[in-house]
Amino acid sequence: MRQIFLDTETTGLSPETGDRVVEIGCVEMVNRRLTGNNRHFYLNPERKSSEEAVRVHGLTDEFLADKPLFSAVADDLIAYWAGAEVVIHNAAFDVGFLDAELKHIGKPLFHAHVASVTDSLLMARDMFPGKSNSLDALCKRLEVDNSSRTLHGALLDAELLAEVYIRMTRGQDSLVIDSGESAHGPALQVQKVDFSAFILPTVAVSEAERAAHEELLKSIDKTGEVLAQWEKAMA
């Protein structure tokens, strides 16, 4: 199963009023293993970012001025997304912006290029009702290290989302790169054991051992209930 974890940063909150995407980060996972085949682009939005947005992601108009337009990277992204399940935290926000960018250059909308879209925010709300389910809150709850997240960044947030998702869906404690190494060193491979295949031996006790055990039970069992259960089991 091929999954892509995606995040965007934007000039503001509303594509309907002309806000644009300034950063896209994508992280690929195949069969619950990170592949390292990621995508990351800073984009020239051809407009100024709001002050509030810059405070969130730190991407100034000056920094973005010489970056490529969305149209320059669209074909690469569309080919990369093709056939994948895309996981996005608060998917309606990011998909709304991506739809606007695709429509702007005459391309089919986002859902036409992917197998499906999974909203990890909705998943988290089902798992943790009544609690904060922001990405930061989930990192803290699921013990994902987000100490490097001083500002929002699309690639970093996509990487954190992948780690959060794998923990939410009961995978290994941390993600594994195809090379067999995690971010903390060589990955530990744990072999599953089917204990139902083992036959436990039955050891017979002598009458003397049985009598000694009953005497011990009598000495510690003031109500007689434990001894009664023992005699019933041995009958």
Q: What is the CATH number of the domain that holds 119?
A: 3.30.420.10
- State residue 172's pLDDT score: 46
**Domain boundary residue, one of 185, 204, 222:** 185
Question: pLDDT tens digit string along 55-104?
Answer: 999 999 999 999 999 999 999 999 999 999 999 999 999 999 999 999 99
Identify whether residues 117 and 78 lie together within a single domain.
yes
d(CA 37, CA 162): 13
Question: pLDDT tens digit string along 144-172?
Answer: 998 877 778 999 999 999 999 999 997 44
- State residue 158's pLDDT score: 96
Identify whether residues 116 and 167 lie together within a single domain.
yes
Confidence band, pLDDT 50/70/90 cuts, at residue 183 = very low
- State residue 152's pLDDT score: 85
Identify whether residues 128 and 218 lie together within a single domain.
no
Task: Name the residue range of residue 14's domain.
Answer: 2-185
Confidence band, pLDDT 50/70/90 cuts, at residue 190 = very low
Choice between 47 and 205, residue whose per-residue pLDDT is larger: 47
pLDDT of 218 over the 60 cut:
yes
Identify whether residues 165 and 199 lie together within a single domain.
no
Establish if 120 belongs to a structural domain: yes
Instruction: State the total domains in the chain.
Output: 2
Establish if 12 belongs to a structural domain: yes
Identify whether residues 199 and 141 lie together within a single domain.
no
Identify whether residues 81 and 170 lie together within a single domain.
yes
Q: Which of 138-142, 150-154, 174-178 shows the lowest per-residue confidence on average (mean pLDDT)? A: 174-178
Query: 152 an active-site residue?
Result: yes
User: From the candidates 57, 89, 113, 152, which is the catalytic residue?
Assistant: 152
Identify whether residues 106 and 212 lie together within a single domain.
no
Identify whether residues 135 and 80 lie together within a single domain.
yes
Identify whether residues 118 and 209 lie together within a single domain.
no
Identify whether residues 53 and 100 lie together within a single domain.
yes
Identify whether residues 114 and 200 lie together within a single domain.
no
Establish if 190 belongs to a structural domain: no
Rounded to an integer, the average pLDDT of 17-31 is 97
